Chain A
Amino acid sequence: DSGVTQTPKHLITATGQRVTLRCSPRSGDLSVYWYQQSLDQGLQFLIQYYNGEERAKGNILERFSAQQFPDLHSELNLSSLELGDSALYFCASSVGVSSEAFFGQGTRLTVV
């Protein structure tokens, strides 16, 4: 158990809908990362927060947004969903901005 909790584990939704994925980092970790993993793309970095502030941005679509709250949990919002958004979404946390990352078990999103 990495100590990082992601909910829900599975999500099935229709195209055009909006979903929210939630992540609780390990106790004491200030940095949260979001990644998308699909079969042919590997782990794609989406966005990183550190202590409530956006720290780095990857190839995150405009339809996607995220935030980190004062209690350090984070949410990833995906809107106007398309079939191609179906993937595993991972959250990871670390103590600092550049230390080893601990991953949650992921949320498997299926868009039908």
Chain B
Amino acid sequence: SQKIEQNSEALNIQEGKTATLTCNYTNYSPAYLQWYRQDPGRGPVFLLLIRENEKEKRKERLKVTFDTTLKQSLFHITASQPADSATYLCALYQAGTALIFGKGTTLSVSS
């Protein structure tokens, strides 16, 4: 069956460290993968998109990698801050379907 798995439900790190979140998928051939941030009770907010022919994408303190052989994307937040605390969702698009989301990883950054 098709699955999108995000490495853990919760990740706790200290301010200033790098947070690394993992997204693995099975039985999909996504054209691209996206990452979103969701705060409690609010709608997800788009962060980054990476296409199948791209290895890495950066935006300010965010970096995403995409390995179609491993069927995995890694999402990094460098120099993390308490304001980065939120749930991060990966989503993939495959032709013939729509945007499908993983369950998310809740990141807590302590000062």
Chain A residues within CB distance 8 Å of chain B: 2, 4, 33, 35, 41-43, 45, 48, 55-56, 58, 88, 90, 92, 97-106, 108
Contacts and interface: CB of A to CB of B under 8 A. Distances in A.
Interface stretch (B10-18, B56-64, B65-73, B99-107): B99-107
Nearest to B30: A98
A42 B46 contact: no
Interface stretch (B21-29, B37-45, B78-86): B37-45
Contact of A2 (B43, B98, B103): B43
Given A42-B104, A56-B98, A103-B44, 13 more contacts: A43-B89, A45-B98, A45-B101, A56-B96, A90-B44, A98-B31, A98-B99, A99-B49, A100-B46, A101-B91, A104-B43, A105-B43, A106-B41
Contacts of A41: 103
Contacts of B101: 35, 42-43, 45
B53 interface: no
Interface of B: 31-32, 34, 41-46, 49, 89, 91, 93, 95-104
Contacts of A4: 43
B45 A45 contact: no
A30 to B, nearest CB: 14
Given A42-B102, A98-B93, A106 B32 contact: no
B34 A100 contact: yes
A19 B98 CA distance: 25
15 contacts: A4-B43, A35-B101, A42-B101, A42-B102, A56-B98, A88-B41, A92-B43, A100-B46, A100-B49, A101-B46, A103-B43, A103-B44, A104-B43, A105-B42, A106-B41
Given A43-B89, A98-B31, A98-B32, A55 B42 contact: no
A18 B31 CA distance: 37
A37 B21 CA distance: 21
Nearest to A6: B43
A45 B104 contact: no
A16 to B, nearest CB: 27
